[in-house]
Amino acid sequence: MALILITLMVILAAGPTWSAPSIIQMRSEKKTLLATDELYCSSWRFTVETNDAGAWTRVPVRCVDFLKDYITGDLYAAELEAVAANAAEYARAIGISGDGRDAWVFDIDETLLSNVPYYAGHGFGSETFNARAFNEWVELAEAPAIAPGLRLYKELQELGFTVFLLTGRDEYQRHATERNLMYAGFNNWEKLILRGKADDGTPATVYKSAKRKEIEDAGYIIHGSSGDQWSDLIGFAVARRSFKLPNPLYYVA
Amino acid sequence: MALILITLMVILAAGPTWSAPSIIQMRSEKKTLLATDELYCSSWRFTVETNDAGAWTRVPVRCVDFLKDYITGDLYAAELEAVAANAAEYARAIGISGDGRDAWVFDIDETLLSNVPYYAGHGFGSETFNARAFNEWVELAEAPAIAPGLRLYKELQELGFTVFLLTGRDEYQRHATERNLMYAGFNNWEKLILRGKADDGTPATVYKSAKRKEIEDAGYIIHGSSGDQWSDLIGFAVARRSFKLPNPLYYVA
C-alpha cells in the first residue's frame, strides 16, 4: 500500500512524461522479465561482464543463439573498439618519461588474439571446456588478431610503453603462442609470461598478480592492463587503470 | 598482408559456418561501427558499467534518447533483477552463523531507491549535475523503491544478515533519507551511515572503504555489498562478494 502510494505520488510529482517507477516496480513484482530469452540473456551478459555472476562454467543453453548473434555481430566488435578507445585516450594523456619503465600488461586470449573460430565450432561456450581440443587449436597458431587490440598495442609502443604479455597459457605452448602472435601482427613485446610448472594449480588472479608484482619489482610502472577476464585485472600489484574487454564465452577463476 | 592470410586460413580451417574473424577485423578497420548511435551508445554503456570509461561527467548528448529508452524500458529492470538474483543465490549458500555478525552493506541511491523520476526531468544524465535541485528532490523523500533491491533486502534480513546502509548523502539529509526509506518499504537496518563533516571532500571510494573498515573493526563479516557505482564496492575492506548494479545516468568518483 505504501509502495502504491509512493508510486502515485511520484507520477503526480514528476508530471505526465514520466511513468517508469511504476513500471520498474510492477513488472518486476510479476517476475516475468527474465522469462524472455532476449532479456534473460542480455541481463546474464551484464552480470557476467560486471563479475556479479561470480564463477560460472557454461553459457546457459537458452543463450547459445543469442551469444552467437552477439559475438559474430557488430556489438561485440563495437565494444572492443570502445574499450580500446578508452585505453588509448588514457595512455596518450599520461605523458610518459621515455626511460622504458612505463609498462602496459596485455592478456592474450580474447584480448589480442581471438579464439572465436574455435568456440564457433564448440557451441559458443555452451559445451564443457575441452582442454585437449582447445590446446590443439592453440598449436595451430591460427587465432586472428582482435583488430582494436592490435591497433592499441601498436599505438602504445609508438607512445613509448614497454609491453608485457601475461597469459594463462602453459610454458609448453610458448612457441605456438609466439608464432601465432607474430602471424597476427604483434611484435617487439618485452616479455611473454606463461604458466610454468611452479604456477600449476594457482588461481589466475593469484598467478597474474604475482607476475605483475615481479614486473613492478623490476622497476616498471604498470600504467595500464587489458584483459577479458576480471582475473586478468584484479588481485594485487594492480595496474593504475584496468580495461575489461567483453567475453561472455567462458570464465577463468 | 599477414592479417589477410591469417583471416583466410581461419575461414578455410573453420569451415563454411564461420566468418566472424574477418568481420571483426575488416569492419573495425573501417572504424565505422561507432558511427551509429545504437552501437555507440550500447558500447558506451558497456565501458561505463565495467569502469573502463573511468571518470565521466555527462551522458553523451547523442545517447540521451537511447538512455531514456533503456532506463524506462525492460532491460534496466531485467538487469536489476538478474543482479539481485546473483546476490540472493550467493547469500542463501553462505550458511551464516546466526550470531548477528554476518553483514551486508547496501548503497542507497540507484541501489535501494530510484532517482530516475528526478533524472527524467533533468535530461537523463545529459545535463550538468545540479546539486541544489537534486537535494530538493531528496528532501521530498519520494524516491520509489527499486523492487528487486527491496526483495533482496527483505530476504537478507530473513536469512539473518545485519544490514548496513552506506550512502554518499550528507548527514543533514538523514531525516529525509530515513523517511524515504521507510515510505519505500525498508525497515530495521542496523545503521544508516551518511557523510559527516569529517568526510567532506573525501572521494567516495575512500570514504566508503573507511566506513566498511569501521564495520569490520566492530566485529562484523561483510559477506556482500550492493552498489550502482564502482566506488561503492572497491578500495579496501572490500566485501567478500560485490554486486554492481547498472547505472549509466551518473558517475561518482
Three-state secondary structure readout of B50-113? CCCCCCCCCCCHHHHHHHHHHHHCHHHHHHHHHHHHHHHHHHHHHCCCCCCCEEEEECCECCCE
A39 touches chain B (CB under 8 A): yes
The answer to whether residues A248 and A67 touch, using CB atoms and an 8 Å cutoff, is yes
Interface test with B, best of A37, A46, A94 (most B CBs within 10 A): A46
* Window from B25-34, B162-171, B208-217 with minimum mean pLDDT: B25-34
| Separation CA B95–CA B11 (nearest Å) | 50
A175 touches chain B (CB under 8 A): no
Find the mean pLDDT for residues B154-179: 98
Compute CA distances B132 → A98, B7, B135, B195, B203, whole Å.
46, 56, 5, 17, 20
What is the pLDDT at residue B245?
Answer: 98
B47 touches chain A (CB under 8 A): yes
- Which residues from A are below 8 Å from B243, CB to CB? 52
> How many CB atoms are closer than 10 A to CB A202?
14
Q: Is A169 helix (H, G, I), strand (E, B) or coil?
A: strand
Q: Which helix (H) or strand (E) holds A32?
A: none
Q: Options 3.40.50.1000, 3.40.50.720, 3.10.180.10, 3.40.50.300; which CATH number does B42-244 get?
A: 3.40.50.1000
Mean pLDDT per segment of 10 residues, for chain A of length 253 residues? 40 36 44 81 98 96 95 97 98 93 98 98 92 97 98 98 98 98 98 97 97 98 98 97 98 95
| Separation CA A93–CA B59 (nearest Å) | 21
pLDDT at B8 over 90: no
What is the pLDDT at residue B98?
Answer: 84
Number of H helices, E strands in chain A: 10, 5
| Separation CA A178–CA A196 (nearest Å) | 16
Q: Which residues on adjacent β-strands are paired with residue A221?
A: A102
Strands of the sheet with A191-195, listed across from one edge: A191-195, A162-170, A102-106, A221-227, A241-244
| Separation CA A97–CA A95 (nearest Å) | 7
Q: Residue B27: pLDDT band by 50, 70, 90 thresholds?
A: very low
Q: Which residue has the higher pLDDT, B37 or A9?
A: B37
ipTM of the complex: 0.88
pLDDT at B9 over 50: no
B93 touches chain A (CB under 8 A): no
What is the pLDDT at residue B122?
Answer: 94
CB contact under 8 A, A14 and B144: no
pLDDT tens sequence across B168-227: 999 999 999 999 999 999 999 999 999 999 999 999 999 999 999 999 999 999 999 999
Domain spans of chain B?
42-244
CB contact under 8 A, A50 and B53: no
CB contact under 8 A, B21 and A114: yes
Question: What is Dmax (Cα atoms) for chain B?
Answer: 67
Residue of chain B with shortest Cα separation from A46: B79
CATH number 3.40.50.1000 is the correct assignment for the domain at A58-244? yes
CA dihedral (A13, A18, A23, A24) positive or negative: negative
Closest Cα in chain A, distance from residue B149 (Å): 10
- Which residues from A are below 8 Å from B114, CB to CB? 21, 24
pLDDT at B147 over 60: yes
| Separation CA A91–CA A78 (nearest Å) | 20
